[in-house]
Amino acid sequence: MKIIFLVAFLFINVVFSAPKCEKIKGEKGMWIKVNGKKYPCATTTRYWDGFKGACGCGTGTGNGKPFPWQWNTLTAAASDSLFGKKDWCGPGCGDCYSVTPTGGFIDGQGSAPKNIKSRLLMVTNMCPAKDNKQWCTSPNKYGYTAHFDLMDHNMKGIITDMGWNNVEVYYEKVPCPVARVNQWKECECHK
């Protein structure tokens, strides 16, 4: 019986001592400290619009259609703080980020992730602040300066499979691996 109580105590202690995103004096937006290092936090949502996107990743002229690799590779429309202020070929196009769920989410807007495994994503679209002020402005309605709108094919694709429902993440810009660089070379806005 003592072992059960000890395990329960340790579990509760770990859950409640997990780092959380919060305001840090002198910094804009929400931040988290993990192993002594500060990371910016972001909100996430998921979308599927079936169009090429603002980084020109897709087939056809005009709106076109996304490339098939975007259906099973983690890609996102980024808020203007990450994408840049342009409507097409923003400076953030093709950037890669390591994103890690904190275990949190915005109350009433999502749910806890099934796991907190870090993932790599590439920016292939813009999350327009003028059309989505709740999430895509900087700061957004919830106080975060960054937002990733994650591509989820027909709203039942890779994000659904990962068990992410509008989770809170912390992120870090990272070099894109060769496979992503090669995918990015197919896009019109390739740098």
User: Which are the contacts of 98, defined by CB distance < 8 A and separation ≥ 6?
Assistant: 118, 119, 120, 171, 172, 174
SS3 40: strand
Q: Which of 80, 95, 149, 152 is catalytic?
A: 149
Identity of the amino acid at 185? K
Q: How many domains does the chain have?
A: 1
Question: Would you place residue 33 in the very low, low, confident or very high pLDDT band (cuts 50, 70, 90)?
Answer: very high
Q: Which of 49, 87, 152, 161 is catalytic?
A: 49
The predicted structure's pLDDT at residue 50: 87
Does residue 38 form part of some domain? yes
Does residue 21 form part of some domain? no
What pTM did the predictor assign? Answer: 0.88
For 70, the domain range is: 32-184
The predicted structure's pLDDT at residue 173: 98
CATH of the domain at 140: 2.40.40.10
Does residue 60 form part of some domain? yes
Question: How far is CA 132 from each of CA 128, 129, 147, 155, 187, rounded to the nearest angstrom?
Answer: 6, 5, 11, 18, 25
**Phi, psi of 155, rounded to the nearest 5 degrees:** 60, 25
pLDDT in tens, 9-22: 434 444 445 688 99
Active-site residue flag, 49: yes
